[in-house]
Amino acid sequence: MTSERFSIARRRFLATVGLTTVFGTAGCSSTTSTGEIDLLSAGSLSIILGNKVGASFEQETGITVQGEFHGSNAAMRFIASGQKSPDVVASADADLLREELRPDYATWDIVFASNAVGITYNPDTQVGQVLENRTPWYRALREADSEIAMSDPDLDPLGYRTVQMFKLAEEYYDVDGLAQDLIDRLEIDPQEAHLLAGIETGDRAAAVCYRNMAVDHGLPFISLPDELDFSNPEYADQYSQATYTTDEGTTIEGTPVLYNAAVLTGADHPENGRRFLRYLLQNREVLGENGLVVDDRFPRTNGDVPEGALP
């Protein structure tokens, strides 16, 4: 897949993102009402934070959650450029949030979960049937004649982890040229939150996604070896051998998936934001039930977390 294709998909996304709404919100509000919270989050958390935790938080507290969901790279760019100013931001890459937002926009964060990269598919498609016949996933994707998708590596950690996973897989399975073949083969969907919609309708055969996304949509999920799925901290050194350089020239090393969140320094509703994070941490079982990893590594804090953000 060429850099030109990345750029085309990214331009289309950025040109239309102002019109994109998720869960009834057209953007992060600037109102000073005390009965709401503006959330800007990784797209892979759209169901968990929008339909699950967000909905129950609203019911319990009466505080309305205005949630907007994009690739984490895009979300950080929106904040750093002044296009959006949410109360709470959640990222699928803990290092990304810290590097892009600290110290100007946030001074602390809470890491609350992990995840695993794998393959989801529609079982009624030709690719799905091949996968269910236990054909190796990389062979099925490499030889498929229908649409298979990945998220944009310049906008989203899932996207660059997909590229990194392909590089790791080429060495792991000892298949020359595998990474580039897969990169060239897959289509880019610039909106992570919509990555699996086409699979549900049958218009798209398969996609690389996080485990929780497949769970959210009730789709089959093919787990990858720990050496490839970015879930196991014991393989951190191996993950780091695979890199991706973004359109802005930043080279990113592979790392274990870590989700973190923070209340921005300039939040309009900081108390509500801290209350939302506390509620999130008090309901970790919901995260686990929906495919995230919430073991004894979590939660853990970074920076001086204020009172009210932790249980």
* 170 neighbors 177 (Cβ within 8 angstroms): yes
263 within a domain of the structure (yes/no)? yes
Identify the CA nearest to 153 among candidates 167, 137, 140: 167
59 within a domain of the structure (yes/no)? yes
Sequence-distant (6+) residues with CB within 8 A of 100 are: 76, 77, 79, 80
Separation in Å, CA 89 to CA 5, 43, 67, 157, 292? 29, 12, 10, 15, 18
Q: pTM, whole model, 2 decimals?
A: 0.87
More confident residue, 154 or 10: 154
115-158 pLDDT, tens per residue? 999 999 999 999 999 999 999 999 999 998 889 999 999 999 99
How far is residue 181's CA from residue 162's CA, in Å, rounded to a whole number? 13
Token digits of residue 21: 């709404």
230-278 pLDDT, tens per residue? 999 999 999 999 999 999 999 999 999 999 999 999 999 999 999 999 9
109, 125: one domain: no
Cα angle at 258 between 233 and 180, to 5 degrees?
75
100, 121: one domain: no
pLDDT band at 85 (very low <50, low <70, confident <90, very high): very high
Separation in Å, CA 290 to CA 94, 160, 279, 283, 310? 20, 23, 16, 12, 22
Per-residue model confidence (pLDDT) at position 34: 57
Identify the CA nearest to 88 among candidates 303, 298, 280: 280
129, 249: one domain: yes
Q: What is the mean pLDDT of residues 292-310?
A: 96
Sequence-distant (6+) residues with CB within 8 A of 174 are: none
* 259 neighbors 42 (Cβ within 8 angstroms): yes
232, 151: one domain: yes
pLDDT band at 194 (very low <50, low <70, confident <90, very high): confident
9 within a domain of the structure (yes/no)? no
Q: In sequence order, which ranges of the chain are alpha helices (DSSP H)? A: 3-16, 54-61, 72-80, 94-101, 126-132, 137-143, 157-173, 178-185, 197-201, 211-217, 226-229, 236-239, 270-282, 284-289
Q: Is the pLDDT of residue 25 over 80?
A: no
271 within a domain of the structure (yes/no)? yes
pLDDT band at 193 (very low <50, low <70, confident <90, very high): confident
Locus of tokens 């294709």:
5
42, 60: one domain: yes
How far is residue 95's CA from residue 250's CA, in Å, rounded to a whole number? 13
How far is residue 233's CA from residue 88's CA, in Å, rounded to a whole number? 26
DSSP state letter for 293: B
CATH number, domain with residue 182: 3.40.190.10
DSSP state letter for 5: H
36, 100: one domain: yes
How far is residue 227's CA from residue 212's CA, in Å, rounded to a whole number? 19
Per-residue model confidence (pLDDT) at position 1: 42
201, 275: one domain: no
Q: What is the mean pLDDT of residues 275-293?
A: 96
Range of the domain at 28: 17-114+258-303
State the total domains in the chain: 2
Per-residue model confidence (pLDDT) at position 6: 43
Token digits of residue 301: 């804090």
Per-residue model confidence (pLDDT) at position 54: 96
